[in-house]
Amino acid sequence: MTILNDPVSAKLGNRQQLSYIASQAADARLNVELETEGMTLNIGPQHPATHGTLRIIARLDGEQVVWAEPSCGYMHRGYEKLTEVRTFPQVTSLINRIDWLGSFANEVPFILAAEKLMNVEAPPRAQWIRTILFELSRIANVSLFLGDLGVQMGAITPVFLAFRDREYVLNLIESATGGRFHPNFDRIGGLKDDLPAGWIDETKVVMKKLRNFCDEIETLLFGNEIFQSRTRGIGVIPRDVALQYGLSGANLRASGVDWDLRRDQTIPLAYDKVDFKVWTHPDGDSFARCWIRLQETREATKIVDQLLDGIPSGPVMAKVPKIIKVPEGEAWVSTENPLGEMGYYVVSRGDLGPFRVKIRSASFNNISITPWLLRGVYVPDIITILASLYFILGDIDR
């Protein structure tokens, strides 16, 4: 068995891996008489728990996973190649579709990279509205995760609450940008339009509702004993392993790494104007990952509230030429998206469109840990661990 020789898992004293080793030792006598045959279980590509088309190939020994590997690419849409044959304004309408639950957050790093190349900076009002919409898309994204989490473990009610309150956020995004899921609102040099009248007051009411929703979910789901026993101590990612596998976002912070790109880098967004707490959790298990996301949703509503009070007045569009030609150069900008670090490496050769775009999406790196993480877990825990890792298939396959 490879796991017994694995120095990492032996050193870590990881609970699930230790229990696996113990059970192996206990079963050793039984296995002499009852020879168990290994079995390969395919989860997906079409599976209700994978929200998308991710296929997990798991080699089972009884109820336990010996070896597992994610097989992605079933929904590959070739965005990196598609962007090469589009002009810069057209690219934003495409990259909306990468992480479809928080689409506005996809546009921002690309636009910032293009602005960096053009040496343009959006006016302050545009930056503030960008930050507000960025956080709203985070709330829309993570609130669905909080509802979906219950469904993966057999609790039906949270998903209805999540869809109810997410609808308010989507309505806000729609009334400001025109698109519920694909805003396409960001432009090089600013925003397409200003906010409609009455939007700020509406948003304040909705943020109150969302905080109430977080409290409800906390009581309903996080305080539930069944939920706790399904998630506590399951799928533990220690700090150094999380760093080795390049995790980002809430998955990394749940392992105790205090790293948040909103706070740790200076980008032309309004994050330095607000106070917010970056939550970390020392445990690194499934519960910690879910809990971090819950706290982040709360924190996002507070960020939005603070930003709404101080939107500076002025234009939302800097002076940019009508036909956008980005000068020759290369730029890398990454932001803290709902799923983790998302970045674009844009190479321009002075044409109407980018020469090459490398997209670093968070989910692709986050699921790279699954072979390590799923080893030794029980079959029902696969679903819990995958749910708590929280990936979006469009973000994996791009």
Partner 1 sequence: MAQVPGFIKGLGITFGTMMRTFKNGSNTVQYPHEKEAPPIRARGVIALHQDNCTSCMLCSRSCPDWCIYIEAHKELAPPRREGGKPRQVNLLDRFDIDYALCMYCGICVEVCPFDALFWSPEYEYSEPNITDMLHDKTKLSEWMETVPEAPALEVGADKKKK
Catalog residues that contact partner 1 under the rule CB under 8 A: 86-87, 89-90, 92-94, 125, 157, 161, 164, 167, 171, 174-179, 182, 184, 192-200, 216, 219-221, 223-226, 228, 311-317
Gyration radius (Cα) of the chain, Å:
22
Contact criterion met (CB below 8 Å) for 163 and 147: yes
Residue 71 vs 157, nearer CB to partner 1: 157
Instruction: Determine the Cα–Cα distance for residues 18 and 121; give it in Å rounded to an integer.
Output: 53
Cβ partners under 8 Å of residue 334, min gap 6: 109, 261, 341, 342, 343, 344, 360
- CA–CA distance, 138 with 338 (Å, rounded to integer): 5
The CA distance from 77 to 398, in Å, is 6
Report how far residue 360's alpha carbon sits from residue 381's, in angstroms, rounded to the nearest whole number. Answer: 28
Tokens of 99: 């992480």
Which amino acid is it at 343?
G
- 8 A C-beta contact, residue 131 and residue 216: no
The enclosing H or E element of 57 equals strand 55-61
306's tokens: 């603070």
Nearer to partner 1, 266 or 313 (CB): 313
**350 Cβ neighbours under 8 A, 6+ residues apart:** 325, 326, 327, 328
